[in-house]
Structure formats: C-alpha cells, structure tokens
Structure 1
Amino acid sequence: MAIASTSSSSAGDDFSRFTSRRIGAGTGRDRVRTVAWNLDGRRLAAGGTDKSVRIYLPDKDVRSGTECRGHTGDVSCVRWSPVHPERLASVSTSGQDKGLRFWDIRQGSKPTSVVETHGDNITMAWSPDGRYIVVGNTSDRIVWIDVEEQKVVKRIDKSVETNEALFSHSGTLLTTLCHGEAEITSFPAGELVHKVVLSDMPATVADLDPRGRYLAVGSNDTVVSLWETTDWTCAATSGVHDDPLRTCRFSHDGAYLATSAGGNEIVIHNTPTLSRAATISTTAQSGDALAWHPTRNVLAYTSGQDAWIWGAGV
C-alpha cells in the first residue's frame, strides 16, 4: 500500500493519516490511463488499454466494477457529465476507433450513442452546461461536439503542438494550450480574447482552480506554474519533477494542486505557494491521470494496471 510522506500543510490536513487503496483487481498486462469522479462523487470511472470503461463504487465494493464495452481501441480519456451523475463520455487514442462514445449507466453497459470524430483522441473537455464537448487529438486537431444534436459542429486544425483545453467555470471562455502559450477564446464564438506566453517549451497540461482565480500549467520543461487569471502574471513555480508534466489537478476547494510526471511519485502542492504538502509514492509508473473527489480531499490516480484512491480512511 502506498503511503504519503508529509510536510506542513497550509490547509491543516493531516496527511500522515492518508493512505492509498487499489480500486479493482487489475487487468493483467493492461494499463489504466484515465480516471474521473462523477458529479456527486459516488462513482469513479476508469479506462485504459483493455478497451473498456469500468464504473466503480469506491465507498462500497472496490473489488469489481461494471464493465462498459464498445470501444475498439485504448480508452484515453473519460469524462462525466457536469449536469447529470449517471452520464459520461469517452474517447480512444486509436486511429481506427474514431467514436466519441456516450454512456448512461442506468441503461446498461453499452454506449447510448456514438459521434464520429477524426480519431487519435487524447483530450476531452465538457462545457459546464453540458451542451458541448471539445476533443483534441494527436494531430493537433480540435473538434467541438454538440451533445444535444450529437454531431461535430466545428473543426480547428492548429499549426503548432496543441494539448489540453479547458472551459472557464461560466462556460463562456475556452483555454487551449498551443505550444508554450495559452490561447483564450470566447465560446462558442471562437474569437481570440487573450494570449499568454507560458513557457519556451510546449505546455502540456492545465487546470483551473474552483474559484477561477488561478490557472495551473505543466510543461515539457518539467516546471509547474501558477498564473493569476486577472492580470495573467505568474504567481508561483515549482520544479519538483525531473520529467515533463503528465497531469495537474486542483482539489475541490482549490487548497491543493496534485501533479505527476509519470514517475513513481505524485506531488501534492499547497496553493498558491506551490510548496510541497505531501508526496504519494506509487507502486508502479503513475501520471496518466489524476482526479480529485468533488467534495472531499480524496484523490484518484492511475498507477500501472490499476486505479487507486488516496485519502484519510479510504
């Protein structure tokens, strides 16, 4: 079992009481690549190289989950609806599996619908009102999907490396990482509002804190940076990782930022200083995905063949 090492925490959490617990029984040689909590925090979805999406009830039975089949390629990203606790969507990194699949766990383990994209999908963001999904792929192509109409309504081909995209909490802005910059556009008009130079190297991952005050960014230069969204100045940086950042996620209250660079540890930072609050030592390579519980300081993460949760008394 993985245990967190601790230092002082500005939010007062006693991380010495936090432990990690494996979710599910593993999938042989397959790797878990994505995890996500649903709207009410009762369910955890995981997907990976076994081409399935599994739904777990972490507070009840963690030994097995409901297996949802429909993908023909590796599941690279899963996201729950922001407005409905039983609905979710998933995409595959496969060039042959081009479908954005929608699921409703009340209707069984098969997709309820499929919207064809261009494949090789690696990122996905769901607008706060549940109306749109933005999907990005390895060819730096972004598509907007209208969830209600079940169709692609816009395609954007970028000329530079393009990574994570995320919505503002109001849903009126979309921030996209384009090489070392953050491009902020109005949504759905798509007009450029602001551009922020973040790094000399590609920025790969980002997250917006729950109040919308800070944008956290991880890049290929191994640095984590925190940007104030009022004047777009850099509030803090951290160089605790030795490799390019793989993911960064704020806790539900914004007090902490979890980051990973694909090694055998996940770092929990205090915000806004980015000082180290705790370290989670993982049993296998981590870093594909992190997801904080929507109301508690419980972190789900991927590590090798399994999904794990870390918290007090989990």
Structure 2
Amino acid sequence: MPGELPDGNSPGEGTKLFWARNVWALVQERDSAVKQLEWKLADIEGQLSKFWERLDRAGKERITTQEKVDRLLFESEEVRQQRDRLEAEINHERQERLAGHKELETRLNEVFSQLPLSNSDRLQISQPLHPIQSSSSPMREPQDLKEMLANLHQEIARLKPPQEAEAFQELQELKEQLNQSKSEQLQLTNQLAIEQKNSAVLKEKIKELNAEIEAKSRNDGAMEFESEMVNLLISSLADPSEAVQRWAYALLKRSHLPKAKMAIEDYQPYRFFRCLQVLEHQKAVRTLAIDPEGNFLVSGSNDKTVKIWEIHSGNLIKTAIGHTGSAIALAISPNGELFASGSGDNTIKLWELKTGKLRFTLRGHTGWVNALAFHPKGNMLVSGGADKTIALWNLETQELIGTFYGHTSTVRSISINPQGNTLISGGNDNMIKIRNLLTGELLHTLTEHTGSVCSVAISPDGNLLASGSNDTTLRLWNVGTGKLLYTLADHSSGVTSVSISQNNMMASSSDDGTIKIWNLEQARPIHTIPPLKTTHGNEGYMLCSAIGPNGDKIVTGFDGGKIKIWGIGDH
C-alpha cells in the first residue's frame, strides 16, 4: 500500500485507509500467534511421542529382562539336574570299583592263606598286583569322567550371572519384585473371592429378611383384618335376626383366633340345631358311636349289619357283615383305628374303622352282648351282657382275663373313667355298680333309680357320672364317693341314652321323642330338640343317641331304621 494518499482523495478515504492498516496488523499478529501455538503443540506432541517410546522401550526391556531371568533360571535348573545326575553316576562308578577292589583283596587273602610260602615269596607274588590295586583305587578318575567334569564346570561358569555386581543385583531385585507382585496378586485374588462370597451370603440374607418382613406385613395385615371380622361376628351373635346369628356362628367356627373359639364356647348355638343328614338301616338302629376326632359314625342295627359313615357328608364308607344277630353295642378305640361290636349272637367282633375289615371274634358270653367299652390304653375291652356278667378281655392275646359278677339282671351299659382304674355298669336290676377295674373290688352300689339303668357316661375329668333310666330321670353322681348330686326330671318318658362331649356338654334321648342338651357342670338344660312330626305322627321311638367330641354334632337312631345327624349347617 502506498504511504501517502493522492491529494485528490477526500479525508474519508484517509480514515478508511488508517482503519484497514490497523486491521491488517491485527491479522498478521494473530497469524503469528497461531503459528507459534502450532509450533508449541508440535513440540509437545514430539515430546509425548518420545515419552511413549521410552515407556514402550522400558516395558519391552522389562519383558526381555523377565524372559532372560526365566531362561537363566530354567537353564540353571537343567544344569543342576544334569550335575546331580553326573555326580550320582560317578558315585555309582566309585562304589562299583571299590567293591571290585575289596573282592580282589579278599580272594588274594584266601590264596595267601592256602599257600605255605615264606614272606619273601609273598612279597614277590604281591608286587605284580600293585598296578592292579593302583588302577582299581577309587581315588583315580578315568579320562572320560574328567572331561565330563571339565565340561560341566565350563557350562556352569557360562551360566553364571554377569560378573558386574550391579547388573546381577538388578536381576535379583527384579526377580524379587516379580515374586512379590505375584504373591500380592494371589492374596488380592483370594481376598476378592472371600469378599464376593461374603457379599453373596449377605445379599441372600437380606433377600430372606425382606421376604420375611413382607410376609409378616401381609400376615399382620391379614390378622388385623381377621381380628376385626371376628369382632364383628361376635357382635353379630347378639343380632335380633336368627339368620344373622346362624351365619355369624358358622363363620366363627372357621376362625383359628382364640377369641373366636372363646366366643363359640360361651355362646349356646343349640337352638339353631337342625337335621343335616338322614341315613338308613333296613331295621331298627340299636347303637351309635362317634370316633374321638368326630369324623366317623358307626351304627349297629337289628338288620345284623354295622355301617361306617363319614359324619360330615353322610357318605356310607363300608357295611360290615358278620354277625348272625342284631348289632346291639358299639365302642371305638381311643386311637380311632378299631371298633368293637356286640351282638345278639353272643359274640364280640373287632373291626378296622376305616376299612371295615374284620380282625377277630371274641366268644365267652352266654347271652346278648349289650354294652362295650375300651380301656383308655386301648389294650383291653370290657363287655356287659344279658348273662348278668361283665367280661374283661386282653385284645393283644384275644383272651378272657376276668369276669365280674354282682348284677342280678341284664347288664345294659358300661363305662370306664379316663384314668382307666374305675369301671361303672348299669343294669335292668335298677342298680349302678362302681368297682376298681384293676382289682375287681366293688366300691359302691347305687340304688336310687327305680327303673332299668339304660345308659351311663363319665365326664372328661372322671369325677362326674351321668345315668339315664326308664324311671324318666337323669341323675348325676360323684364317682369317688358314690354320692347322688342331682336328679334331672325334664324328660316325660324313659331316658334311653346319655353321652358327654369333651367340653362337658351332655345329650340325652328319650322315648318321649326329644333330645335334651345339658350343661353338665351347672346341671341345667340348655335346649330341647322336639320330635319331628310326620304325616303319620312322630318319627318313631328314639332308641339311641351320641354327641360328638366337640359337642357340635348329635346323632340319633330310631326304631324305624333311620339315623339323623343334628347340627348347624354352613348355610
């Protein structure tokens, strides 16, 4: 650009020129700075490249050094093994030569001992042997062994580390560092494996705890909801509607909460009892028994059969056929596996409860077998008959082991207390006899009834005796003293059967067609189930009854062959 503007230009052109010069200077200055930065960047890249080259070379040198160290160690180990092998061979050769020399000396001594020569003769003979002895001396080395040893020493000298102390020390340090690094790596690997294992165990425990917490939360929520529902159901037992009360009671029975069970025990649901099932024999039903778990019903009839029923569904499981007379008496063993039946054919038969299979038959009575009772241990059976006797049987040997006398007429019913040491019997002679079952001693004779004693039952604790008679009364007695405690005269006709549940509820049936339910401890009636009316009048005479172990079922048998199961339905 020219230094001066022509005279003809205006002042504005001078200003533009000045501005352009300044911009150009700035551009040149910026380009110079950029070039300087590019040079510096190139220099830095060169230095970095040299640094990485040095690092790479150092790494290669380290690898090479490590390979040399490993090779030297390997060669040294080979030389050591070769030297050991050669030394073993030399020692073996020496041992063989020494043994040959000793053998030769031994033979020479034997020769000398056998020759009668003078000492001078011995000397002349032994002189030629000196070279042999000298050549066989173990101290002289053969030429080939010397050469091998020389070669071995040369090889060892060749494989020795360099004479420079610093280089040798560096190799040793590298070797130690390598070994230390490997040891540390192994320790870290082992520690990592242990930590991973501990971590897995902790994770599993945390998972289990979370599952338990979640399950507990669900259970707590369910329990809280169930508790609220039970409270609502308990309050519903006082509802004016009978249908609501019935539903509340049925639902409370399904709950496992203690307060639900207490509410059921305190509540008296018998007014809701209705006939749930009607079962049938071909002729009059004479005896009934319910197993200790309340699942099975056994019935005996004048049709000479014994039937086994599932009490909740009313399904017939098995019909046991074998008696040639009416099945009059039944008893189920304490473990619920067997039952015994007594018949008008004077025999007792033992059956399997769930299959109806006959086990064996007991014979000994000379009249009808009217009453049966298992000992609480299940190993003995007591029977009472029309022959006025009570028989005691060993069920393991099937033998008659005792006979009790005392009644002056037919024995109608018997019972054994839960402790197994007291036997109670009632008969057509209007008497109840209490005796020691273990010794046979007669303890008490109760004569307050004025009619045949048709049925006797003992409370779960063994302290109370209930008896039903044709004189229309129920009587409660103290078993230990024989004292009459209560006379219950609520029936209008003879009492045919008495039974007691495990929760001290008593059921009695009568010829008046009613079933009465009693609180045994308070000696008061709770409810009366009236006779069912038909188009032809009443159902018929009620000959027997039984209450379930929990008091939630009552079963009755009629002279027309029907069996009725009473309880509270689910609907």
Both proteins in one fold, TM over 0.5: yes
Of the three residues 309, 332, 335, the one matched with 1:80 is 332
Task: Pick one of 369, 390, 394 that aligns with 1:121.
Answer: 369
- Does the 8 Å CA contact 1:263/1:285 hold for their aligned counterparts? no
Question: In structure 2, do the counterparts of structure 1 residues 58 and 219 end up closer, same or farther at CA, with 3 Å as the change threshold?
Answer: closer
1:113 is matched by which residue type in structure 2? Answer: F
Correspondences of 1:164-203 after superposition (within 5 Å):
164-177=413-426, 179-203=429-453
Amino acid of the structure 1 residue aligned with 2:569: G
Partner of 2:269: 14
**Secondary structure of the residue that 2:495 maps to in structure 1?**
coil
Deviation at 1:23, TM superposition (A): 4.1
Following TM superposition, by how much is the alpha carbon of 1:311 offset from its aligned partner in structure 2, in angstroms?
1.4
Aligned residue number for residue 160 of structure 1? 408
Correspondent of 2:494 among 218, 221, 244: 244
- Tell me: CA distance 1:235–1:158, structure 2 relative to 1, closer, same or farther (3 Å): closer
Cα deviation, 1:211-231, whole Å, max 9, x if unaligned, reads 223111122321111123354
Q: Indicate yes or no: 2:347 matched with 1:99.
A: yes
- Verify: 1:225 aligned to 2:503, yes or no: no
Structure 2 partner of 1:57: 310
Which residue of 306, 318, 337 corresponds with 1:66? 318
RMSD across aligned positions (CA): 2.3
Aligned partners of 1:206 and 1:248 also within 8 Å: yes
Say which of 350, 374, 391 aligns to 1:143.
391
1:294 aligns with 2:542: no
Where 1:246 maps in the other structure, the secondary structure is strand
Larger relative contact order (Cα-Cα within 8 Å, sequence gap ≥ 6): 1
Matched, 1:312 2:562: no
Q: Does the 8 Å CA contact 2:486/2:523 hold for their aligned counterparts? A: yes
Point out the more displaced range, 48-57 or 189-198.
189-198
TM, length-normalised to structure 2: 0.49
**Structure 2 match to 1:27:** 281
My pick for the range that moved more, 201-210 or 70-79, is 201-210
1:279–1:147 Cα change, 3 Å: same
Other structure's SS at 1:160 match? coil
Please list every run of 5 or more consecutive structure 2 residues that lacks an aligned counterpart in the other structure: 1-264, 533-538
Identical-residue share of aligned pairs (%): 24
- Secondary structure in 2 matching 1:297: coil
Q: CA deviation at 1:244?
A: 2.4
- Residue 160 of structure 2 corresponds to none
Q: State the alpha-carbon separation in 2 of the partners of residues 230 and 157 from structure 1.
A: 21
Cα distance change, pair 160–19 in 1 and its aligned pair in 2 (3 A): same
Q: What is the CA deviation profile of residues 69-118 of structure 1, one whole-angstrom value per residue up to 9, with x for unaligned ones?
A: 11111101111111x222111011x2xx2221011145x44411111132
Cα distance between partner residues in 1 of 2:324 and 2:406: 27
* CA pair 20-195 structure 1, distance change in 2 beyond 3 A: same
Distance in 2, matches of 1:296 and 1:90, equals 24
Structure-2 change in CA distance of 1:233 and 1:11 (3 Å): farther
Structure 1 gaps of 5+ residues are 1-9
User: AA paired with 2:509?
Assistant: S
Measured in 2, the distance between the counterparts of 1:16 and 1:219 equals 25
Tell me how many residue pairs correspond in the alignment. 297
Q: 1:49 to 1:200 in 2, by over 3 A?
A: closer
- Following superposition, the deviation at residue 286 of structure 1 comes to 4.3
Alignment partner of 2:294: what SS?
coil
In structure 1, distance between residues paired with 2:298 and 2:371: 16
Rounded Cα–Cα distance in structure 2 between residues aligned with 1:182 and 1:27: 32
What CA distance in whole angstroms lies between the structure 2 residues aligned with 1:235 and 1:273? 11
Write out aligned runs for 1:33-44 (5 A).
33-44=286-297
Secondary structure at the counterpart of residue 148 of structure 1: coil
**TM-score, with length taken from structure 1:** 0.86
* 284-293 vs 126-135, greater mean Cα deviation: 284-293
> Does the 8 Å CA contact 2:455/2:468 hold for their aligned counterparts?
yes
Is the 8 Å Cα contact of residues 459 and 465 (structure 2) preserved in structure 1?
Answer: yes
Amino acid in structure 1 at the alignment position of 2:436: S
**1:3 paired residue number:** none
Report the secondary structure of 2:271's partner residue: helix
8 A Cα contact 1:249 1:292, kept in partner: yes
1:50 deviates by 1.6
Amino acid at match of 2:293: D
2:386 aligned with 1:131, yes or no?
Answer: no
Q: CA deviation at 1:296?
A: 4.0
Equivalent residue number for residue 269 of structure 1: 518
> Cα gap change, 1:109/1:240 in structure 2, threshold over 3 Å: closer, same or farther?
same
CA distance in 2, matches of 1:194, 1:239: 23
How has the CA–CA distance of structure 1 residues 64 and 194 changed in structure 2, closer, same or farther, with 3 Å as cutoff? closer
